[in-house]
Amino acid sequence: MKRLVPAVALALFACDDGGEATPLSFEQTLDPAACKDCHPDHYRQWSGSMHAYAATDPVFRAMNARGQRETEGALGDFCIQCHAPLAVQLGYTTDGLNLDDVPAHLHGVTCAFCHSVEAVEGTHNNPLRLAMDGVMRAAVRDPIDSPHRAAYSPLHDRDDLRSSALCGACHDVVTPAGVHLERSYKEWQDSLFNSTNPAQRNTCNDCHMPGRTAPIADVAGVPVRRQHDHSMPGVDTALVDFPEREAQRARVQRDLDTLLVAELCV
C-alpha cells in the first residue's frame, strides 16, 4: 500500500442548504459525512455498507487481535490495511488494535479512499496508489464545474474491465506464505464474466453497484446521469446495531434469490 501524497493547501467545498460552496480543510475532506449534503443517497447507502462496517465488525476485531497475539505482533497492518486503509496511511494505527482511539471518520473503507485511487499496482493485499490531490475520481467523463475537482477514471467505471482491479486489490488476500485467504478477484478473473465481449462481460460493479438514471448530486442544475448504488451488497450483514441494517440484509437476500436457493438466518 502506497503512502499518501501530502496536500497541505488542499481545499474542497461542501454544499450548504442554499447551494453555496463552503471550503473544507484537508482533514474535513477525509470525513464521509462531508459528502452527505451534496450526495445524500450515496452517503446513506455507504453508511450501511460493509465498507463502512469493515473496522466495526466484531468478528474482524477479534480475529485481528488473535492474529496479533499468535504472531507476537508480526501480523502488523496485514488486516487493517484493508479494513481501515486511511487510518493506516495517516499513521493512526499500525496494527488495528487501537481502533477505539482512531477517529471514527477513518474507520472502514471511506469515500476519500476509493475516490482518490489513481493506480492499482498489484493484484492483492491493497496495492493501491492514492493521489489525494483534491480530485474525486469517478465514472463521469464530462464532469461539470462543482465544489470539488473531478475527473474521469477507468478504474471507477463499471463498464471498464480495469474497474474490477480496483475492487480486487482488497478482495484478494494472500498471506506472506502464499496462502489465499480470499480469492474473490481471482475467481472473477477466471470466470466467463472477465470477457472482452461487452455482451458477456460483467465487472464487479455491474452486480454490486447497480445504476439508475438520476442526478449524482442533490444540487440544482446538476444533469441527470447514471447514479450508482453505494450499498454494495455481497453476502455479509452487520452483526451489531448498524445503519441501514435491515435494508442491507434485504439487498443481500435479493441478490441471493437470483443466484441460488438460500435464505439468511441472522
Q: Residues 49, 32: contact at Cβ < 8 Å?
A: no
pLDDT tens-place string over residues 108-147? 999 999 999 999 999 999 999 999 887 889 999 998 877 7
Cα-to-chain-centroid distance, residue 159? 18
Domain ranges across the chain: 233-266
Spatial distance between the Cα atoms of 205 and 138, rounded to a whole number of angstroms: 13
What are the tens digits of pLDDT across the range 179-231? 999 999 999 999 999 998 988 899 999 999 998 999 999 988 899 999 999 99
**Higher local confidence (pLDDT), 10 or 76:** 76
The confidence score (pLDDT) of residue 15 equals 60
Residue closest to 1 by CA, chosen among 92, 134, 90:
90
CA–CA separation, 27 vs 10, rounded Å?
10
Note the pLDDT tens digit of each residue in 21-65: 565 667 777 899 989 988 999 999 999 999 999 999 999 999 999
Q: Residue holding cell 496536500?
A: 7
And the C-alpha cell for 195?
470477457
